[in-house]
Copies of this chain bind each other. A is one copy, B any other.
Amino acid sequence: MLDVSSFSHLSLDPETTVDKIAAELRRALFDGELEPGTPLREVALADSLGVARSTVREALGSLVADGLAVRVANKGVAVSTPDPGVIHDVTRARTVLEVAGVRRWAEAAETDRQAVRDALAAYAELASTDFTTAAWNQAHLAIHRAFVGLTGSERLVAAADALAGEIRLALAKVDRTRRNATEQVASHALLVDLLEAGRTDDAADELVRHLADGETSMAAALT
């Protein structure tokens, strides 16, 4: 039998009701079931989900903390509405984070580099299946998250996750991505190839271009 200390790496934290509600709301947001600007009434959500108002309230606080919704005092919480200014700021922020990551490709931990390859592989595989918009966006953003992971800082990854949430919100109603799925995969594969070849400067330039393109297409999709 193993020593007890061998299990010290195991852990589980019981999923609380607030977490479930927050997760369900996030899913609804990312699936485009809730239009940006939609007010999230506490009582309506409460008896729609069969929980108390306090619990809903706490879950809403979680969404607000992540920037997915905004709360104005005495008026309540509403789904964040991504405007061009937000898109621009998000793009500038993720450019900083992701470029910092890819520039550390050579010095990064091997596991972090492998995470990039794995994310790319999953992305490519998904492209040949019948995927949903939300799943596609998630796989795409997983690659960019892995880029930030190259910095080796979990806090930067957390910041990138918050940015990704706002992007998924903006992309919820857009599935223009489907038609050029293979093209998108090729673009990211090229980027990783440049990294593997040691051409980090070229990779960084390519990434900046890619993110700028993403900004323009996202801004255009806002109608």
- A residues sitting closer than 8 Å to B (CB atoms) are 13-14, 16, 54, 57-58, 61-62, 65, 72-74, 89-90, 92-93, 96-97, 100, 151-156, 159, 162-163
Contact = CB atoms under 8 A, between A and B. Distances in A.
A103 to B, nearest CB: 10
A156 B73 contact: no
Classify the interface of chain A: helix, strand, loop or mixed: helix
Contact of A92 (B74, B90, B152): B152
A194 B153 CA distance: 28
A219 to B, nearest CB: 16
Contacts of A54: 54
Nearest to A163: B155
A98 to B, nearest CB: 11
Contact of A13 (B73, B152, B155, B162): B73
Contacts of A154: 89
Contact of A153 (B16, B61, B93): B93
